[in-house]
């Protein structure tokens, strides 16, 4: 235990000593200061009172702490918290704030974070959110508009659902700012970023991308999801060995090349476009042989095409040798030559 941590702990115990016995006991048990952390219900059962009455005793004790702290060195914790919240446009999730305060003040990470939580609750310049399903607890300045917080979340989900894919944070935030301007005026990107940390249905990845948690793209669990993730990150075709290496590097877990290859083969989300080279089907690629690709090109063109034209179009969606394309053009069952260097589908094979 560092000197800084000991000073905070000793000062906090002295502040608690100024409370009534019941207030001191409730707060001690709620944060697990000298024992196990307990719920309102557990404490209420031991006293024979309701959980709401325990909450009231806790709230009165915290308000008293708020008045006493002003004359102690513990004020530094509150000042640090306020500075950090200001940097995040007035709102930040609890755990992130506590970690930031510990780093800011050079406190050992072994400190009971609930002590810092109580000191922040005791700060009359701050408010703490009430527990709500699907959200993280957060601290905020009273002037933060709760309707705006809800609107930011609602708008982000709406935009992401419409796009149906992950987005870069900056792009999403700019769209939210534009869409909410008429209702709330200028909304800071820092506030949008902090608000979206609160809601569990939205997930960020690599401090650059954002998406919906149910998509499992930014928080992949299966090998298939991880393969999709690295392909989307690369944004271009990848060999299955390269995909395996990327998964190993990014997720810090070894992947057998044969295992990832089998995963790519059996899932129709992936399309093989060359020798061992895969892309995502959602990028507009279709599975099939080179001949299938050539037939589809003819069906779309509806006119004879030269070898060069056919080759160029095939290579846009298949990583194959030009000789392979030429050999498939010699398939007289499906393709016929109609000029010196022109080909088309045989009439009976037109779609």
Whether residue 204 sits in one domain with residue 249: no
Question: Structurally, how many domains does the chain consist of?
Answer: 4
**For the segment 210-226, what is each residue's pLDDT rounded down to a tens digit?**
999 988 888 788 899 99
Strand pairing partners for 140? 91, 127
Mean pLDDT calculated for residue range 237-259: 91
DSSP string, 193-226: HHHHHHBTTEEEETTTEEEEGGG-SSS--SHHHH
Its pTM stands at: 0.70
What is the C-alpha separation between 245 and 271, in angstroms, rounded?
19
Nearest to residue 181, comparing CAs of 155, 202, 199, 157? 155
Instruction: Give yes or no for a contact between 68 and 126, defined as CB atoms under 8 angstroms apart.
Output: no
**pLDDT at residue 79 tops 70:** yes
Whether residue 340 sits in one domain with residue 320: yes
**pLDDT at residue 290 tops 90:** no
240, 256, 283: which is the final residue of a domain? 283
Report angle CA 94, 166, 283 to the nearest 5 degrees. 165
Residue 86 within any structural domain of the chain: yes
Mean pLDDT calculated for residue range 16-23: 94
5/243: higher pLDDT = 243
Residue 112 within any structural domain of the chain: yes
Instruction: Give yes or no for a contact between 264 and 270, defined as CB atoms under 8 angstroms apart.
Output: yes
Nearest to residue 115, comparing CAs of 13, 42, 210, 39? 13
| Residue carrying the six token digits 């089907």 | 281
Whether residue 122 sits in one domain with residue 61: yes
Window from 53-67, 85-99, 164-178, 304-318 with minimum mean pLDDT: 304-318
179, 213, 247: which is the final residue of a domain? 213
What is the C-alpha separation between 152 and 156, in angstroms, rounded?
6
**pLDDT at residue 110 tops 70:** yes
**pLDDT at residue 43 tops 90:** yes
Supply the pLDDT for residue 232: 86
Mean pLDDT calculated for residue range 107-131: 92
Whether residue 86 sits in one domain with residue 181: no
Whether residue 311 sits in one domain with residue 255: no
Tell me whether residue 48 is exposed, middle or buried, using C-beta atoms within 10 angstroms of its C-beta: 0 to 12, 13 to 18, 19 or more: exposed
Instruction: Give yes or no for a contact between 314 and 295, defined as CB atoms under 8 angstroms apart.
Output: no
Supply the pLDDT for residue 186: 95
Whether residue 81 sits in one domain with residue 33: yes
Range of the domain at 299: 290-349
Residue 114 within any structural domain of the chain: yes
What is the C-alpha separation between 68 and 18, in angstroms, rounded?
8
Instruction: Give yes or no for a contact between 309 and 322, defined as CB atoms under 8 angstroms apart.
Output: no
Residue 54 within any structural domain of the chain: yes
Residue 98 within any structural domain of the chain: yes
CA torsion through residues 119, 123, 129, 130, sign:
positive
What is the C-alpha separation between 319 and 277, in angstroms, rounded?
8
**pLDDT at residue 275 tops 90:** no
Whether residue 296 sits in one domain with residue 200: no
Instruction: Give yes or no for a contact between 277 and 264, defined as CB atoms under 8 angstroms apart.
Output: no
**pLDDT at residue 349 tops 60:** no
Q: What percent of the chain has pLDDT over 70?
A: 98
Residue 140 within any structural domain of the chain: no
Whether residue 113 sits in one domain with residue 12: yes
Please report which confidence band the pLDDT of residue 348 belongs to, taking 50, 70 and 90 as the band edges.
Answer: low
Mean pLDDT calculated for residue range 252-261: 90
Supply the pLDDT for residue 179: 97
Whether residue 190 sits in one domain with residue 96: no
Residue 135 within any structural domain of the chain: no
213, 247, 268: which is the final residue of a domain? 213
Chain Cα centroid distance, residue 283: 22
**For the segment 140-181, what is each residue's pLDDT rounded down to a tens digit?**
999 999 999 999 999 999 999 999 988 999 999 999 999 999
Mean pLDDT calculated for residue range 266-275: 88
Whether residue 160 sits in one domain with residue 82: no
**pLDDT at residue 276 tops 70:** yes
Whether residue 296 sits in one domain with residue 267: no
Q: What is the CATH number of the domain that holds 295?
A: 1.10.10.10
What is the C-alpha separation between 126 and 82, in angstroms, rounded?
8
Q: What is the CATH number of the domain that holds 276?
A: 1.10.10
Please report which confidence band the pLDDT of residue 6 belongs to, taking 50, 70 and 90 as the band edges.
Answer: confident
């Amino acid at each position: 235990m560092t000197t800084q941590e000991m000073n905070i702990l000793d000062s906090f115990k002295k502040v608690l000593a100024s409370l009534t016995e019941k207030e001191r006991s409730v707060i001690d048990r709620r944060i697990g200061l000298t024992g196990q952390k307990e719920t309102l219900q557990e404490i209420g059962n031991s006293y024979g009172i309701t959980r709401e009455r325990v909450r009231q005793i806790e709230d009165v004790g915290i308000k008293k702490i708020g008045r006493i702290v002003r004359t102690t060195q513990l004020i530094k914790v509150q000042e640090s918290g306020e500075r950090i919240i200001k940097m995040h446009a007035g709102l930040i999730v609890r755990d992130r704030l506590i970690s930031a305060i510990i780093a800011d003040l050079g406190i050992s990470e072994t400190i009971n974070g609930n002590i810092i939580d109580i000191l922040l609750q005791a700060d009359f310049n701050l408010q703490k959110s009430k527990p709500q399903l699907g959200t993280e607890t957060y601290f905020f300045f009273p002037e933060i508009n709760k309707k705006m917080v809800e609107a930011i979340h609602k708008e982000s989900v709406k935009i992401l659902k419409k796009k149906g894919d992950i987005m870069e944070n900056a792009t999403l935030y700019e769209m939210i700012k534009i869409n909410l301007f008429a209702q709330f005026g200028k909304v800071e990107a820092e506030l949008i970023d902090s608000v979206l940390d609160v809601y569990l249905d939205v997930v960020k990845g690599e401090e650059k991308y954002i998406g919906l948690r149910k998509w499992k793209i930014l928080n992949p669990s299966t090998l298939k999801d991880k393969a999709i993730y690295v392909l989307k990150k690369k944004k271009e075709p990848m060999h299955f060995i390269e995909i395996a290496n990327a998964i190993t590097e990014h997720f810090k877990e070894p992947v057998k090349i044969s295992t990832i290859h089998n995963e790519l083969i059996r899932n129709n989300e992936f399309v093989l476009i060359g020798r061992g080279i895969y892309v995502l089907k959602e990028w507009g690629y279709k599975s099939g042989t080179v001949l299938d690709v050539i037939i589809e090109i003819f069906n779309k063109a509806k006119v004879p095409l030269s070898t060069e034209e056919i080759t160029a179009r095939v290579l846009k969606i298949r990583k194959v040798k030009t000789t392979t394309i030429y050999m498939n053009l010699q398939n007289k069952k499906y393709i016929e030559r109609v000029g010196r260097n022109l080909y088309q589908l045989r009439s009976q094979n037109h779609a």
